[in-house]
Amino acid sequence: MVQFPQDRGHDRAPGGAADHEPQGPAGEPIGTLSVAELLSVADEPLLAGRSADPDRIARAQLDEALLQLREYFEGTRTKFDIALDWYGVNGLRLTVLKLLAEVPFGETVTYGDLAKGSGAGVTASQAVGGIMGSNPLPIVVPCHRVLAADGLGGFGGGLRTKEWLLAWEGVMPPALDWGL
């Protein structure tokens, strides 16, 4: 298990220490992720607790993915180098997720940026939001780095988790201006 990185000024997980009881192979400060799920793309988001078939994935791949996740949460890795199984992902969803996978650590993009970069045009921003909501590879394909034009936007793992991940990466999302 990866210890919570206290050297970055965080003293507990987004849900609080009592809410964080790792139960899987990659217990991380934002909750539990199954490495098998990270490597086998399903049609449903992984943070919702769905499981992939770990028998499809070679043990060496699982070990490497776990190592890279540990390094990310220890602060020694900023880019994942994991062979991803994109089986069953196609069309605009595949294009957008592959673009997103290239967004560097510590940087953000907007839903509109991804829509425009995918060739679908900025009018497809809502479609991109839907794709982010069904991202089967959170953290590795960093949907937490996607912001709304007017602020944080949503996140399937919860806004506190998104805020934690962005702070971990040194990114301060733009403040909302409510005209107050």
Catalytic residues: 143
| Helix, strand or coil, per DSSP, at residue 178 | coil
Amino acid at 140: V
Q: How far apart are CA 33 and CA 51, in angstroms?
A: 10
Strand-pair partners of 146: 109
User: What distance in Å separates the CA atoms of residue 87 and residue 42, rounded to the nearest whole number?
Assistant: 8
**Across-strand partners of 40?**
85
Place of tokens 């949503």: 154
Q: With beta carbons less than 8 A apart as the criterion, state whether 82 and 64 touch.
A: yes
Q: Is 78 left (phi over 0), alpha (psi -120 to 50) or beta?
A: alpha
